[in-house]
Amino acid sequence: MTLRVGVVGGGQLARMMIAPAVELGIELRVLAEQPGMAASLAATAVGDYRDAETVLAFARDVDVVTFDHEHVPQPVLHALEEAGVAVRPGADALRFAQDKLLMRARLEELGMPQPDWAAVADATELQDFLDAHGGRAVVKTPRGGYDGKGVRVVSAATEADDWFTVLAEDARGGALLVEELVEFTRELAQQVARRPSGDMRSYPVVETVQREGVCAEVIAPAPHAAERLADVARGIGEAIAEGLGVTGMLAVELFETSDERVLVNELAMRPHNSGHWSQDGAVTGQFEQHLRAVLDLPLGDTTPREAWSVMVNILGGPVAGGLSDRFAAAMAEHPAAKIHTYGKDPRPGRKVGHVTVAGDELDETAYEARAAAVHFDD
């Protein structure tokens, strides 16, 4: 019997599960939002993931349902679980990825290091927080944000008025999340795979470089990461995976501060941009690992294949022509670069591909990856 994994969502994360699924011999079935998406090759259904009937019909005849994104509503997740479908990560874990206030509260219970935070229901409460934190803070909508969307640095409570208005109109009520503006020296990410049986495997902590709120580059492992830092990051990742009951891949985005603290910034319960390096740079890539984890198969070796891997995102892509028009020049100059494109039309700021180079020397490896990726700009 061929194992069958159903993926809700047809974006590039679902697309990048295709290669390891085909290689292992797992049948991947994708519920795509619309035709022609990045994962369309594996799409067996097109439909609305917010509709329980659509998702239930899709989930028939698969061994497990997993996700390209975390936006499937709780009622749909519960309907799946009540119908006896294996949902990984499950509804109870996904709550914490879907609601940043729930996430902050749960991390506090788990004793995880994180920025000062509060739930603020109105401008007065936000102003109080600002006053107590030097007059500036980060305000986030608890739901629906990604890649810097739904995140705003404010220095006056009025700067979040529009969001408070939306909240007031939302029948569910609720609050905004406000967080201390952390003076970080750099951003890190820790990935952990966890099986339903509880087994976990962690990847080395990586450094992520963001530009305009979007991941631009990842260096694996994080340079100058002392053993203590790597241990602390891994400990945080594993405690969160276990404490939140995550199954599949978990990514924990972290701030490293000048006083050597590590604070949890964001979570993602799925393969994550910070782990794309592992496709080419680790014995087991994150997409294969996610499939193994959600199928409750033993996890693969996460050891890096080379001393350094550098992943550079292709953001936007060429203004004229397609990405493949740039293959010839990029490949001619960078024969060791691993080029990935997602079958998406170029658009300013959009993640349309990435390039990974692995090597012995960080400087050279990073140069090669950046220089290869530049071929796909404008």
Answer for which of 338, 351, 369, 373 binds its own copies (CB under 8 A) is 338
Q: Is 254 in the site for its own copies (CB under 8 A)?
A: no
Q: Is 2 in the site for its own copies (CB under 8 A)?
A: yes
Q: Is 249 in the site for its own copies (CB under 8 A)?
A: no
Q: Is 336 in the site for its own copies (CB under 8 A)?
A: yes
Q: Is 187 annotated in some ligand binding site?
A: yes
In this structure, the strands spanning 248-257 and 184-194 are antiparallel
Nearest residue (CB) to its own copies, 236 versus 291 = 291
Only one of the segments 16-24, 70-78, 88-96, 160-168 lies at the binding site for its own copies (rule: CB under 8 A); that segment is: 16-24
Answer for which of 160, 232, 323, 373 binds its own copies (CB under 8 A) is 323
Please name the residue that has the structure tokens 């080379």. Answer: 306
Q: Is 36 in the site for its own copies (CB under 8 A)?
A: no
Q: What residues contact residue 256 under an 8 Å CB cut-off, 6+ apart? A: 184, 185, 186, 187, 188, 229, 262
| Residue 325 beta carbon to its own copies: minimum distance, rounded to whole angstroms | 7
| Residue 241 beta carbon to its own copies: minimum distance, rounded to whole angstroms | 18
Nearest residue (CB) to its own copies, 42 versus 87 = 42
Q: Is 22 in the site for its own copies (CB under 8 A)?
A: yes
Q: Is 305 in the site for its own copies (CB under 8 A)?
A: yes
The answer to whether residues 292 and 303 touch, using CB atoms and an 8 Å cutoff, is no
User: Which of 156, 162, 105 shows the shortest CA–CA distance to 131?
Assistant: 156
Q: Is 316 in the site for its own copies (CB under 8 A)?
A: no
Separation between Cα atoms, residue 370 and residue 315, nearest integer Å = 12
Half-sphere exposure of 74 (CA within 13 A, CB side): 9
The answer to whether residues 317 and 279 touch, using CB atoms and an 8 Å cutoff, is no
Answer for which of 110, 182, 216, 297 binds its own copies (CB under 8 A) is 297
- Assign 3-state DSSP to the chain and report helix, strand, coil percentages, each to 5: 35, 30, 40
Please name the residue that has the structure tokens 């974006």. Answer: 11
The structure tokens listed for 281 are 């740079």
**Which segments of 71-152 does DSSP mark as H helices, in order?**
74-82, 91-98, 100-109, 123-132
β-strand partners of 96? none
Residues of this chain that bind its own copies (CB under 8 A): 1-3, 15-16, 18-20, 22-26, 41-42, 201, 279, 283-284, 292, 297-301, 303, 305-306, 321-325, 327-328, 331-332, 335-336, 338-343, 353, 358
Q: Which residues participate in the annotated binding site for ATP?
A: 100, 140, 179-182, 187, 265-266
Q: Which residues participate in the annotated binding site?
A: 100, 140, 179-182, 187, 265-266
